[in-house]
Amino acid sequence: MPVRPLYDPSRFADTTVSNQPLSCVSCGLHKEVLTPRMPPFGDGKKGIMLIGEGPGETEDRRGKPFQGKTGNALKAALADLGIDLFKDCVSVNAVNCRPPNNRGPSPHEMACCRKIIVNPAILKHMPKLIILLGGSAVTSVIGGLLPDAVGDAISRWRGFQIPIPNWHAWLCSTFHPSYILREEHKPEIETVWLDDLKQAIKLLDVPVPDAENLRDRITILKGEEAILRALQRAKVRKGLFSFDYECTGLRASLHTIICASFCQSPDKAYAFMMNGSDAVKQAWRDILVDPEIGKISHNLAFEYEWSRHHFELDEMNWAWDSMLAAHVLDNRAGICGLKHQAFLNFGIPAYDDQISSFLKSTDDRDPAALNRISQFIERHGEDELLYYNGIDSLVAYRLALKQMREIQ
């Protein structure tokens, strides 16, 4: 079997939260319920999939999701939008066996059901629109694509309209109808919920971007001559220039730039090792100081400090900071990092799962401490580091263009 390449954002992870196997046996919820492994229900005529938390007592007794008061509230809200809950939608839950005493499902239980029921249901029914109802649905679906989202509150994700090219579907999150019923004394919450559903339904007529493997968009430059040619073309081209560094630590004055990447179009990025060539360093510096080249970075303070220290420059023509723009557009905590923004805006799953631990300092108390990037290169090779570095520049460039349109 061929080795799966690292940093292939077209793949979809099956994230685990423990060392236990993902199976009904290790989950165990099926043992004492009336309807074990409740199957998805609904005709799905309009291509909508609803994903909730788990069956309640009424659902377990009837063998169908979204029954009783919760189901009635959801059915009424959708009917006002011209959607029939059972004819137009397919419904499934993050766990499909009723948890004891209606408690919330555990991350492991959701991981098991994601593998056994939820993801297979998505692939079988091929919905145009997936609506996640509540935090458990977010952990189930988004947590399988972006591991940091496991356990996130629904407030971090509600309202976003996320394209998932590999599923040819839009992914939207909002509150669970049971929460709306519990907070009936707060009509503003119901207003937000109804608007989330309304905006999601509008996406049924909006095409989802085609899937792509971002590795195919990265050109790895080998040798001084190839690097210099690419940098000369970049300098002649002018315009916007997204770039990114990978380094041996966090302090520019104490550590070294290992590699760099850059991007000047939505379709292609370049990455190369900084191997000490004076000619390459000078060509790179010439681009950084060029006033006709607008620099883009996701957190420009980092790239500026490293550029200032290692290439002896003070002024750069900064055009855009995509992290700052992300805060301007939506300042919710924990969503403005590049990996979260890549997912929110383009449906790109986590592509740093293999390298993230290698980029952390070996001693948080010592500013001079190195990270383990050299060990990553020894284990996986330079090319894999460069693919990761290049994807960062490519995503930041695409993100900046999208943000410019939204803000301006």
Whole-number Å distance between alpha carbons of 5 and 351? 11
Reading across the β-sheet that carries 239-247, which strands appear in turn? Answer: 218-220, 268-273, 257-265, 239-247, 293-297, 318-321
- pLDDT for the residue 314: 85
Confirm whether 9 is domain-assigned: no
Do 256 and 147 lie in one domain? The reply is: no
User: Could you give the CA distance from residue 69 to residue 227 in angstroms, rounded to a whole number?
Assistant: 64
Q: State whether 99 and 127 are in the same domain.
A: yes
Q: Looking at the domain assignment, is residue 4 inside a domain?
A: no
Q: What is the pLDDT of residue 4?
A: 43
**Pick from 183, 205, 227: which residue ends a domain?**
205
149 and 254, same domain (yes or no)? no
Give dist(CA 170, CA 293) in Å, integer: 35
pLDDT for position 18: 56
Number of Cβ within 10 Å of residue 199's Cβ equals 13
Spacing of C-alpha 267 from chain mean position:
19
Question: What would the pLDDT profile of 232-290 be if each residue is shown by its tens digit?
Answer: 999 999 999 999 999 999 999 999 999 999 999 999 999 999 988 999 999 999 999 99
What per-residue confidence (pLDDT) applies to 260?
A: 98
In this predicted structure, what is the pLDDT of residue 14? 52
How many Å apart are CA 149 and CA 133, to the nearest integer? 15
Q: What is the pLDDT of residue 208?
A: 95
Do 219 and 194 sit in the same domain of this protein? Answer: no
Residues 170 and 260 grouped into a single domain: no
With respect to residue 348, please indicate whether it lies within any of the assigned structural domains: yes
The reply to whether 226 and 341 lie within a common domain is yes
CATH number, residue 249: 3.30.420.10
| Residue 147: predicted pLDDT | 84
Q: Are 378 and 270 members of one domain? A: yes
Check residue 319 and give its pLDDT.
Answer: 97
The domain total for the chain is 2
- On whether residue 62 sits in a domain, the answer given is yes
Choose the final residue of a domain: 182, 205, 228.
205
Give 350-394 as a DSSP string: P--TTTGGGGS-S-TT-TT---SHHHHHHHH-HHHHHHHHHHHHH
244 and 333, same structural domain? yes
The CATH number of the domain holding residue 154 is 3.40.470.10
pLDDT of residue 15: 47
SS3 232: helix
How are strands ordered across the β-sheet holding 129-133?
A: 89-93, 48-52, 129-133, 169-174, 161-164
Are 280 and 274 in contact by the 8 Å Cβ rule? The answer is: yes
Instruction: Give the chain's residues under pLDDT 50.
Output: 1-6, 9-13, 15
Q: Assess if residue 16 is contained within a domain.
A: no
Q: What is the pTM of this model?
A: 0.92
Instruction: Among 205, 226, 244, give the residue marking a domain's end.
Output: 205
Residue 5 lies in a domain: no
Cα–Cα distance for residue pair 140/135, rounded to 1 Å = 9
What does the pLDDT look like over 77-94, one tens digit per residue?
999 999 999 999 999 999
- What's the domain range around 140? 24-205
Residue 370 CA to residue 336 CA, distance in Å, equals 26
Q: Assess whether 198 and 255 both reside in one domain.
A: no
Residues 131 and 269 in one domain: no
Q: CB burial class (10 A; 0-12, 13-18, 19+) of residue 184?
A: exposed
- 245 with 385, same domain: the answer is yes
Q: What is the distance between the alpha carbons of residues 331 and 63, in angstroms, rounded to a whole number?
A: 41
